[in-house]
Structure 1
Amino acid sequence: MTVQELPGAGASHRVTPPPAWRPRMEAAPLLPDPEPYRVLGTPAAEELDPALMRRYYAELVRGRRYNAQATALTKQGRLAVYPSTVGQEAAEIAAALVLEEQDWLFPSYRDTLAAVARGLDPVQALTLLRGDWHTGYDPREHRIAPLCTPLATQLPHAVGLAHAARLRGDEVVALAMVGDGGTSEGDFHEALNFAAVWQAPVVFLVQNNGFAISVPLAKQTAAPTLAHKAVGYGMPGRLVDGNDVAAMHEVLTEAVKRARTGGGPTLIEAVTYRMEAHTNADDATRYRTDAEVEAWKAHDPVQLLERELTARGILDEEGIREARDAAEAMAADLRERMNADPVTDPMDLFAHVYAEQTGRLREQAAMLRAELEAEGE
Structure 2
Amino acid sequence: MPELIPDSDLLQPPDFIQLLDEDGGRVPNPEFDRWVRDIGATELGALYDDLVVVRRLDVEATALQRQGELGLWPPLLGQEAAQIGSARALRPDDFVFSSYRENAVAYCRGVGLTDLVKMWRGSAQSGWDPASVGMAVPAIIIGAQTLHATGWALGAQFDGVDAVAVTYFGDGATSEGDVNEAMVFAASFQVPVVFFCQNNQWAISEPVGLQARVHIANRAPGFGIPALRVDGNDVLAVMAATRVALDRARSGNGPTFIEAVTYRMGPHTTADDPTRYRDPADLAAWAKRDPILRLRRLLEAEGLFTPEFEAAVAAHADAAAAELRAGCIALPDPHPLSVFDHVYTTPQATLDGQRDGYAEYLASFDSAGSTSSSTSSKGASV
Q: Aligned with 1:115: secondary structure?
A: helix
User: 2:117·2:328 contact (CA, 8 Å) conserved in 1?
Assistant: no
Contact 1:209–1:272 (Cα < 8 Å) also in 2 = yes
Aligned residues: 345
SS, match of residue 270 in structure 1: strand
In structure 2, the partner of 1:43 is 28
Partner of 2:162: 171
Q: Match of 1:339, SS?
A: helix
1:265-304, aligned counterparts within 5 Å? 265-304=255-294
Give the counterpart of 1:150 among 138, 141, 144.
Answer: 141
C-alpha deviation, 1:374, in angstroms = 4.5
Establish whether residue 132 from structure 1 lines up as the match of residue 134 from structure 2: no
Q: Structure 2 matches for 1:72-151, cutoff 5 A?
A: 72-151=63-142
Asked if 1:160 corresponds to 2:151, the answer is yes
Measured after TM superposition, the shift of residue 134 of structure 1 is 2.1
TM-score, normalization by structure 1 = 0.88
Q: Contact between 1:240 and 1:251, CA under 8 Å: does it hold in 2? A: yes
Asked if the contact 1:112–1:147 (Cα under 8 Å) also holds between the matched residues in 2, the reply is no
State the percentage of identical aligned residues. Answer: 40
Distance 1:227 1:212, change over 3 A: same
Counterpart of 1:67 (choices 33, 38, 58) is 58
Measure the CA separation in 2 of the matches of 1:192 and 1:121: 31
Question: 1 CA distance for matches of 2:142 and 2:116?
Answer: 18
Q: Does the 8 A contact of 1:33 with 1:238 survive in 2?
A: no
Give the superposition deviation at 1:313. Answer: 2.3
Which AA in structure 2 matches 1:52?
E
Map 1:160-239 → 2, pairs under 5 A: 160-223=151-214, 225-239=215-229
Q: Say if 2:362 is the partner of 1:372.
A: yes
Shift of the alpha carbon at 1:257? 1.8
Q: Is the 8 A contact 1:95 1:175 kept in 2?
A: no
What is the one-letter code of the residue matched to 2:188? V
Report the AA paired with residue 118 of structure 1: R
**Equivalent AA in structure 2 for residue 334 of structure 1:** L
- Give me the TM-score of the superposition, normalised by structure 2: 0.86
Q: 1:10 corresponds to which residue?
A: none
Query: Distance between the aligned counterparts of 1:338 and 1:277, measured in 2?
Result: 22
Judge conservation of contact 2:76–2:102 (CA < 8 Å) in 1.
Answer: yes
The alpha carbon displacement at 1:95 in A equals 2.7
Write the distance in 2 (CA, Å) between the matches of 1:101 and 1:341.
28
Q: Give the distance between the partners of 1:359 and 1:54, measured in 2 at CA.
A: 56
8 A Cα contact 1:183 1:189, kept in partner: yes
Equivalent position of 2:310 in the other structure: 320
Following superposition, the deviation at residue 100 of structure 1 comes to 1.0
Runs of 5+ unmatched residues, structure 1: 1-31
When Rg is computed on C-alpha atoms for both structures, the one with the higher figure is 1
Helix, strand or coil: the match of 2:120? helix
- Which residue of the partner structure matches residue 24 of structure 1? none
Residues in 2 aligned to 1:110 and 1:95: alpha-carbon distance in whole angstroms = 14
One-letter code aligned to 1:111:
E
Note closer, same or farther for the CA distance 1:160–1:33 as it changes in structure 2 (3 Å cut).
farther
Note if contact 2:123-2:331 (Cα within 8 Å) is conserved in structure 1: no
Q: Amino acid of the residue matched to residue 192 of structure 1?
A: M
